[in-house]
Amino acid sequence: MWPFADAVKARASSFMCAYQRINGSYACQNSKALNGLLKTELGFDGYVMSDWGATHTGVAAIEAGLDMDMPGGLGGYGMNWKAGSFFGGNVTKAVNNGTLDVARVDDMIVRIMTPYYWLGQDKDFPSVDPSTGDLNTFSPKSTWVREFNLTGERSRDVRADHGELIRKHGAAATVLLKNENKALPLKAPKSIAVFGNDAGEDTQGFYNQDDFEYGTLTAGGGSGTGRLTYLVTPLEAIKARARQDGALVQQWLNNTLIIESNITDLWVPNVPDVCLVFLKTWAEEAADRQHLDVDWHGNAVVENVARNCNNTVVVTHSSGINTLPWADHPNVTAILAAHYPGQESGNSLVDVLYGDVNPSARLPYTIALNGTDYNAPPTTGINTTGWYDWQSWFDEKLEIDYRHFDAHNISVRYEFGFGLSYTTFELGDLAAEPVVEGITTVPEQRPVEPGGNPALWDTIYNATVPVTNSGDVEGAAVPQLYVSFPADTTPAGTPPRQLRGFEKVPLAVGETKTVGFALRRRDLSYWDVVSQDWLIPAGEFTLSVGWSSRDLKAFTKITPVQA
């Protein structure tokens, strides 16, 4: 619930209901979810739109809280406009024949138009660029079912300093997972070998490829993909940097060749100073991942390179988790999870590889030792054949990601929140003080605002901890605050630890800063199914601060409500 509450409080203008059913009814006509939770409990005053083709009825969906049917037609993805619409003229008919209250139609209109004014679209808001129609697709133009003719200036350049910005973001989002013997940052190596189909140019263009085997992966596919105006590949950026150092760069981008060859027969004349291996994992809507390995036999690529090169650095571009079975190979000296870095991919990576940027990103998920250790394996049409395999029973309850691994004491490869730096940091003593008196178990019932009951957002404790850069280069620490609830006064299944805050803190060499965490009432509450409210349990909480979910260094205890 809380991520949705955060979005509502941040004044998101619209929510989208998806394709699944909730307790037997379609999400786009589930009144409990749309009217009860979203619009009433969380106080959402914008509009709810359907995912493309997720509308299945007219009046029933409207009364359940659906405000906008997208894209408006029937058939596959709702894009057959000639066949009619669940909404459209049927809304007028429903009002006229008395099956739909006109007050609900007024509510739909107000909800749809409120964001229009809230976002200033009535005040010199730029018109839609006509070239948007050309770009807003992830399928060839020959397959379009409808083309929109827009007027006005085409192909406006709105990039400004985007290239500089995305380069910084790409470097800042790169997670350093392994760095043995200080393999990184690179120290002007004179012989560099580049391996893997993820290193070079996209040989079939950025979009609408028949096969994504060759070319670096900068963004995921589907309707949420990004549009590149240019691309700096890892290989291109590495060559540019190598020229400054007078270094030799050799490359092999065919994974099959790499796997089937004696690697020592490829490079000239000797073992390179560093072997950079680039792996990728493709994902998009309608092409979900079938496993948690890298694609195109990437594991075998790493094994064959590392067998012959004692300084193998692996870079992954992926939408999320890769299990990395070769992570403990003694010749794999460094691993970087670069995710989807955008069009400055190569430059942002080279900034990290050579130490121009000190890596500071942290994992937003757990990397398990085995794919079977997860309690929610990938579910796709290829690997899922059981009648109930598509049914989510939510048996995991609150045990999602690190909370599952912690609850069952499962060893992991890299834990949630993990990430290395080129420097070192130290934490001082953790302190926590209440900022209000008379904290009660039950929150005060106030009029609902966007985000829900305002009382749940009140800060009731402040926690502070000093952080010091104890290394020899500047960097950014990421202290993370975890909360452990009283075991004897909270429901069974409450996770052992739950993340309640984190901060990225830039620090010069030897510098110390005090980091503060505001703990709100919601952060110390659990959902009570009997009272149907958020309650603070009586008893002692443990607050922990550290560098990941399993690397906790500073602790203190608080008792908001006496037992």
Catalytic residues: 51
- The phi and psi torsions of 162 (rounded to 5 degrees) equal -60, -40
Angle, alpha carbons 91-96-102 (nearest 5°): 65
Q: Which residues contact 306 (CB under 8 A, 6 or more apart)?
A: 275, 312, 326, 329, 331, 332
Structure tokens at 429: 């003593």
Query: Could you give the CA distance from residue 484 to residue 543 in angstroms, rounded to a whole number?
Result: 6
Q: Which of 320, 336, 351 minimizes the C-alpha distance to 168?
A: 351
Structure tokens at 560: 């908001």
- The phi and psi torsions of 21 (rounded to 5 degrees) equal -100, 150
- The phi and psi torsions of 517 (rounded to 5 degrees) equal -125, 125
- β-partners of residue 173 are none
- β-partners of residue 262 are none
Nearest-10 Cα torsion for 197, 199, 200, 203: 30
Could you tell me where the DSSP H helices lie in 293-391? Answer: 298-308, 345-353
Q: Which of 235, 318, 248, 240 minimizes the C-alpha distance to 277?
A: 235
Angle, alpha carbons 509-184-177 (nearest 5°): 95
Question: Distance from first CA to last CA of the chain, Å, rounded?
Answer: 27
Structure tokens at 322: 């890769």
Structure tokens at 403: 């909370």
Helix 89-96 × helix 102-118 angle, to 10°: 140
